[in-house]
Amino acid sequence: MNGREELRPVDLENTKTHTANYNDKDIRVLIKVFSEVRSVTIAKLEALNEGDVYKMAIHPRLKTPMWIIDLFLFVAEHDDHHLARITEISRFIK
């Protein structure tokens, strides 16, 4: 969306995640934060116009083009992974 030719590289060390110390947070807080962040993502998706759908940038590791819709699909699949884990963890909460 910002017009760059290449996407930002991913932080494979998950620095932001570790710094946020999510493993020590209450699951209810995690669900709230997850929901808030995903609401922002959905709002961005809903705000796309026809021209935005054709925007693309090069994936830094794969060196292939990635259209914005590909990025949203990746985010959705990544979210699904986290939602499955949240569901698994929440089974142990009374």
Task: Encode pLDDT of 46-86 as tens digits.
Answer: 999 988 888 999 998 889 999 988 888 888 898 899 889 88
Domain positions in the chain: 15-90
Query: Mean pLDDT across the stretch 4-23?
Result: 86
pLDDT for 71 = 85
Question: Using CB atoms within 10 A of its CB, is residue 40 exposed (0-12), middle (13-18) or buried (19+)?
Answer: exposed
- 63-74: pLDDT as tens digits: 999 998 888 888
Q: 45 or 1: whose pLDDT is higher?
A: 45
Give the CA radius of gyration of the chain.
16
pLDDT for 58 equals 94
According to DSSP, the residues that pair with 66 across neighbouring strands are 57
Q: What is the pTM of this model?
A: 0.68
Query: What average pLDDT does the chain have?
Result: 87
